[in-house]
Amino acid sequence: MFSNTPTTVVVGRDSTVIAVSGGRHSNGAVKWAVEHLLKKNSSCILLHVRTKTMLTPENNNDAPKNGRPPNEEELHQFFLPFRGFCARKGISTKELVLHDLDVTSALIAFVVDNCISTLVVGAATSSWGSILRRFNKDDVSASLAKSLPDTCSLYVISKGKVQHIRPSGHHHPHHNHQNVEATPAKSIKDIVNFLESDPLDQPHKDLTNNQIAFEDIERKLIKDVVKHQSNKLWEYLHEETNSPKSPIEYPSSQNSSANNTPGNSDSTGQSLGPPLINKTSSHHCGNNSSLKDQVSFDMQMRKLKLELQKTAEMYGMACKEAVLATQKAVEIEKYRQEKERDMEEAKLAQTKMTMESTQMSKHLVKTESQKRREVELKSKHEEGDTIKALQEVIYNNIPYRKYTIEDIDAATNKFDNALKIGEGGYGPVFKGVLDHTTVAIKAMKPDLAYAEKQFQQEVIVLSTIRHPNMVLLLGACPEFGVLVYEYMVNGSLEDRLLQRDNSPPIPWKTRFKIASEIATGLLFLHQTKPEPLVHRDLKPANILLDKNYVSKISDVGLARLVPPSMANQTTQYRLTGAAGTFCYIDPEYQQTGLLGVKSDVYSLGVVLLQIITAKSPMGLSHLVEKALMSNTLSEVLDPSVKDWPIEETSSFAKLALKCCELRKRDRPDLGTVVLPELNRISRLWDDENIYPLRHHMA
């Protein structure tokens, strides 16, 4: 493990140095050097220049000039991948870290100080900062090519390809270089020291911490610029000194006292360095051209100083803009975080409101459901009380003929199947003779759960009311739930519409009369006092026909009492379990359990459509409606009737469709709309014989 304390590292003169920065270009440089320059069991130096940013300045005096070993973080970040690669190829490595603001200057100084013979770099090695890059257009490789001594070979690697570049500067052989630079060294150093002098080094007073920090940053930037310009000045001076056309010769050290003459200071009092022309040089330069060269040199120096000042001002402005941009970025980030926090809080609040709303909805649904259950329980309780009261009335108060089971057995020959004339939901129906009268006997199924209740309902309704369009109850056997009705010769309307037992078709005049009679009997139930009765199971099978085809409504066991205050309302009805036959049940009643007199109006509408079509009730309303819209009603009418009056039948069908509306409030009133219209249609032919050929059931 490496220590953070810098130590001096000895570097060989003929070492191969590979500059690495941790990027992909460094990978290419190391790979190429190992494959083309280095032999197995040889060694190389991996060199990394750690630049100092303007926001985190470091002290250059902390690092040795010849580099230091990497610390643990640098080792893992920059050198380990390259060390491992070289080790696999049999190459040993030394790792060094340099500290400088400029990568090029650091590499050149290291090469010169250690007499490095070979330097390998990646083509895209970056310079020292994006803000300063605009003032230094040359990249590292180009700068190295211009400034490296001839003794060092430079290899620039780009995308696996190599370019061998020799330094392009005007350097002389080693012995001449010493002779030329020995004399002007002090003068050039004075010039560079002047250019590198920091005008901001004066003590500051009454400055805030932010201002002091900014001045420190600006001072570093200016120093960097001055150092760059100084390098250019050195080049320029070397070119001027070594030019064959220049007659300038600098005095030896014994004449250096002339350096402090007033002619060599600018208006600020600072020395510009040694005199470019003195008495000694004037003896050697007696012609006009030497004076012109000196004037030109002075002008170049002043021009360079002005450019330096402008550059420093530009860097100062760039530094201020960078600081302001950083502050603005911090403020924007803070604002963004606050906005995100506000959005998160709003989202949490919205989620909380949604959860509360959901919980409230569930609570309301639960409360509503609980109320409905309470109403149902109350209704069932009231219904139980009503049943008990009905039982007392049936067995004690209602006057109806009571038969014994022996009487029923004798009348039906012990329920002989040969006498069976029908089958209903309540039970089978038999033909028999009681008291010398032909009757229809309906026996209750022994396993029917609600048969007793239906029996009681049938007895109380039919024993207390009398109407020519309601079937007549002759008596009952309460012990066994047997009901005795008057015998209807022509059976049910369903059988006659379907022409069972080869019965003749019903003429259209008789059909209109039957429709009017059904509506009359149904209105009688709805007007029952003190409470209206709703049949709930109106269908052709429960409409019986006597020998003259007079229709009578039967099977009122499912009839329910409705409070008078709710009988004609469109939204409030008695809450009950849906009962009846599929296709005839009111859809709204089936969905909500709310019962009303208009529930029977829907069933009546379906029966009316069957009267004129003799078709199944499934989808019948849609079929007739489509036929009316396309003027093809005659195609859906019962084909056994050949002389349908289209105009009256069309009115009849439209009235039936109105009764079949899905919503109760859209259906017409039975007493004021439906029955008057049916009476009008059926009485158009009162003077004619509307009864068909007699069909007596066996």
User: Which residues are the active-site residues?
Assistant: 537
Could you tell me whether strands 401-402 and 420-423 are parallel, antiparallel, or unpaired per DSSP bridges? unpaired
Using left for φ > 0, alpha for ψ between -120 and 50, and beta otherwise, residue 536 falls in: left
Q: Read out DSSP for 172-200? A: PPHHHHHHHHHTTHHHHHHHHHHHT--GG
DSSP letter assigned to residue 542: G
- Dist CA 131 CA 587 (whole Å): 81
**Paired tokens of 498:** 């379907």
Structural contact between residues 261 and 275, judged by C-beta atoms closer than 8 angstroms:
yes
- Dist CA 420 CA 430 (whole Å): 4
Nearest C-alpha neighbor of 600 from the set 612, 611, 584, 615: 584
Q: Is the dihedral of CA 356, 362, 365, 366 positive or negative?
A: negative
β-sheet bridge partners, residue 48? 97
Establish how many alpha carbons lie within 13 A of residue 175's alpha carbon, considering only the half-sphere containing its beta carbon: 0
β-sheet bridge partners, residue 553? 470, 543
**Helical H segments across 98-173, by residue range:** 103-114, 140-147
Could you tell me whether strands 437-442 and 473-477 are parallel, antiparallel, or unpaired per DSSP bridges? unpaired
CA dihedral 116, 118, 121, 123 (to 10 degrees): 130
Question: What is the C-alpha radius of gyration for the chain, rounded to an integer number of angstroms?
Answer: 59
Q: Read out DSSP for 11-41? A: --TT-EEEE--SSHHHHHHHHHHHHHTPPTT
**Paired tokens of 39:** 């032999």
Q: Is the dihedral of CA 527, 533, 536, 540 positive or negative?
A: negative
Q: Is the dihedral of CA 291, 294, 296, 298 positive or negative?
A: negative
- What letter represents residue 130's amino acid? S
- Dist CA 458 CA 434 (whole Å): 20
- Dist CA 364 CA 423 (whole Å): 46
Q: CA-based angle 605:607:611, to the nearest 5?
A: 115
Nearest C-alpha neighbor of 559 from the set 460, 486, 695: 460
The residue assigned the tokens 């609040």 is: 349
Establish how many alpha carbons lie within 13 A of residue 313's alpha carbon, considering only the half-sphere containing its beta carbon: 6
Cis, bond preceding 173 (omega within 30 deg of 0): no
**Paired tokens of 457:** 């309902």
